[in-house]
A and B are shown apart, each in its own frame.
Chain A
């Protein structure tokens, strides 16, 4: 009863800063997650007004979530519910996936019951084109000092990058979700994530790679490895912290296995993209090789 009253009040004062301030002194007995995490955020002093707005709208959608997701999956309305996000929500989710905060679980804080497909899809698309374009630019820069400059953009990179990234963003969450659901039958843990939520987490966690890939244009090996390590640490920690509540009640060996798999797959994606699409030659050795081949061909032709 108190819950519904609180939620009803909550709905009316959605955009009112006064209500939020007056609520700080209230000693409500509700132990819902939304209230708790909101109070935690207030305590840590990160209470921006724009952060409370997605919270309010998400609470509203939580109330209606029974009606919202009841459209069958072959209708257009079902997919419209998966795109029910605003610009600032997407921005907050991207920031939340880049900066891991020890208390905040990505799914709890940002996704709630409103996973979206907009973020994962367009972040993957941007990443595909960023890899293809940066790979072409870095090849061009490496070959720039060559006398026989004949630069042709390699368009096959786009299709290869698209296949790799989209399969990572869809197949790994599918496998993880299947595994977690199977474990959930044996060990009833507190938290279980839906498939869309896992896809959403993985999609947003790839967003840190976009600036890293753009940094890879500079043909400096030290800089490339440094940016890979930084990106891996940030997004890997977000992933681990997200899945920790779902698996912490399991046997220790299974926990270690799952976390190791998540991290290793993430590392493989980053390192694989780097080695496949970006040539690792420095500028000087390549020019020496080219000069040698030029001399060889000239001696052969003479």
Chain B
């Protein structure tokens, strides 16, 4: 025991030599240089005119529209998600499905609230479904993708209304059917191009099917829309 203590003494003996010499300065600058730039940025966006702010957001929304119309496997839609675009599209679609005329007797067509609820509630349920199945996409990213991919169906709605101005015969129905089917296929393809990568390989079909059902129901609502004359 004493031998151990004696052998341990040289080990600890060196500790007494360690001391902070007084000529090493212990001061310095520990501020993070980046934060000052962030503070400058915040100040600059607060000072800019409102037109610039709105235009910046609109440009971001428009850029995502372009990504939806030409769906490549880019992650731009997922990275900077926003919900302005889906809100804009949802409100436009719900307003256009109203018909405009006040026909209180045949109130069978979907109300504004029903369309709104179907689109948002449906998106939330599909997002929950993909997360429960083990998807790696975040909640709002998925909502963003599903909302933006309604764009082809909204375009189809505009086209259908224009076609309906020309009459409600069999030809117009055939044209509307083709347009709605094409846009429904486009929406499903665009959204699966963004969403399918985040799922494990053996569950892709389980995630794609609810998206298919969702856009099918929206396409059905567009196809059966008819103005009263």
Contact = CB atoms under 8 A, between A and B. Distances in A.
A37 B105 CA distance: 60
Given A83-B132, A151-B226, A88 B202 contact: yes
Nearest to B204: A87
B202 A152 contact: no
Contacts of A88: 202
Contact of B206 (A80, A118, A126, A136): A118
Interface string B192-229: 00000000001111100110010011001100101010
Contacts of B110: 153, 155
Contact of A118 (B111, B129, B202, B204): B129
Interface string A143-171: 00000001111111000000000000000
Contacts of A122: 129, 209-210, 213
B106 interface: yes
A118 B135 CA distance: 14
Nearest to A151: B226
Q: Is the interface of A mostly helix, strand, loop or mixed?
A: helix
Interface in B39-69: none
Q: Is the interface of B mostly helix, strand, loop or mixed?
A: helix
Contact of A80 (B109, B134, B203): B134
Contacts of B224: 136, 151, 153
B226 A152 contact: yes
Given A88-B202, A153-B224, A126 B213 contact: yes
Interface string A118-153: 100010011001000100100000000000001111
Contacts of A136: 224
Category for how many chain B residues contact A: 20 to 34
A87 B206 contact: yes
B108 A154 contact: yes
Interface residues of A, number: 23
A10 B114 CA distance: 52
A90 interface: yes
A244 interface: no
Interface in A223-242: none
Given A129-B213, A133-B220, A156-B108, A86 B202 contact: yes
Contacts of A79: 132
Interface in B94-137: 106, 108-111, 114, 129, 132-134
Given A80-B132, A87-B203, A118-B206, A125 B109 contact: no
Q: Which of B114, B210, B213, B224 counts the most chain A CB atoms within 10 A?
A: B224
Across the A-B interface, the 3 shortest Cβ-Cβ residue pairs: A154-B108, A83-B132, A153-B224
6 contacts: A83-B134, A86-B203, A118-B132, A129-B216, A152-B109, A153-B224
